[in-house]
Amino acid sequence: MSRGRFITLEGGEGVGKTTNLAFIKDYLHQHGIPVIVTREPGGTGLAEKIRHLLLDKDSEAVSEHAELLLIFAARAQHIKHVIEPALARGIWVLCDRFTDATYAYQGGGRSMRNSTIEWLENLVQGNLRPDLTVLLDAPVEIGIERARARGFFDRFEAENISFFEHVRRAYLLQAELNPERIKIIKANQPLVDVQREIINIIGAFLR
C-alpha cells in the first residue's frame, strides 16, 4: 500500500478556506482518492480543547510562548492520532492550516523568532511536511471584512489590521522560500476563478 499524501490549505482570515476545503475534498473523491479533512488547531478531542483555549477572547491573557507551545501540543496530538495513521493507511489528508500558519501568525503576527518555531517544528513533526500547500491570498481589508461579516470574531480575528498585515507578509515569505510546495491563489477574485486555479494545481499534483 502506498503512503497517502498530505495537502494543506492556508491563508489569513476571510479568504474562503472552508468553502474551498469542501471543493478540494469533492475533487479528490471524484478522482477516486480516499481523503479525510481535518483542521488545526484541532483534529482530536484534546487538540479541540486546546483550540477552544486559544480562540477564546474572554479568557485570561495568553502569553506568546504559551500560545506557541499550545499550538504545537495540539499539533503533536493531531499528528500522532490522525495525520500519521491516515497517511500510513494510504489515505490522503487535507488539513485546514498547519505549520505555515504558525510561521505566519506567531512568527509574523506575534514577531516570534522563526528559529524557535523551526526548533519546535523539527521536534514535533520529525520529517513530516505537507506534500502540497495551497495558499489563498487576499488584501487584509477584504479578508477581515468577510470574516467579521459572520457576526462573531475570536481572539485572533479581534486583532488589529497591522497584525494581519504581518501575517500576510509572513505567509508570502513562506511561499517565496518554498515555491515547489506552496502555490498562491488570489482569493479576492470570483470563486469560479479561484476554483479553476485549484483544479489546475491539484490536477498537476495528481499527474
Distances (CA, A) of 190 to 106, 126, 137, 194, 196: 30, 38, 13, 6, 10
What CATH topology corresponds to 6-206? Rossmann fold (3.40.50)
Whether 47 shows a pLDDT value over 70: the answer reads yes
pLDDT band at 62 (very low <50, low <70, confident <90, very high): confident
DSSP character for 62? Answer: P
* Domain range annotation of the chain: 6-206
Across 125-148, b (16+ Cβ under 10 Å) vs e yields beeeebebbbbbbbebeebbebbe
Inter-residue contact 171 to 11 (CB < 8 Å): yes
Mean pLDDT of all residues in 181-185: 98
Q: Which residue has the cell 495568553?
A: 62
Give me 130's grid cell.
505537507
**Residue 155 has what pLDDT?**
62
**Residue 14 has what pLDDT?**
83
**Residue 183 has what pLDDT?**
98
CB < 8 Å & 24+ apart, contacts of 123-130: 123/72, 124/72, 124/75, 124/76, 124/79, 125/75, 125/79, 125/99, 128/6, 128/79, 128/83, 128/84, 129/6, 129/99, 129/181, 130/6, 130/7, 130/8, 130/95, 130/98, 130/100, 130/181
**Residue 58 has what pLDDT?**
74
Whether 9 shows a pLDDT value over 70: the answer reads yes
**Residue 17 has what pLDDT?**
92
* pTM (2 d.p.): 0.93
Whether 207 shows a pLDDT value over 90: the answer reads no
Mean pLDDT of all residues in 98-109: 97
**Residue 59 has what pLDDT?**
76
Mean pLDDT of all residues in 98-123: 97
Inter-residue contact 130 to 178 (CB < 8 Å): no
What is the β-pairing status of strands 6-11 and 182-186?
A: unpaired
> CA-CA distance, 172 to 135, in Å (whole number)?
9
Inter-residue contact 43 to 169 (CB < 8 Å): no
Inter-residue contact 158 to 58 (CB < 8 Å): no
CA atoms within 13 A on the CB side of 97: 23
- Residue 26 CB partners (closer than 8 Å, separation 6+): none
Mean pLDDT of all residues in 24-37: 97
Furthest CA-CA distance within the chain: 49
Residue with the larger pLDDT of the pair 44 and 59:
44
Mean pLDDT of all residues in 16-32: 96
Q: For 117-157, how does the pLDDT look when each residue is reduced to its tens digit (9 = 90+)?
A: 999 999 999 999 999 999 999 999 887 777 777 766 666 76
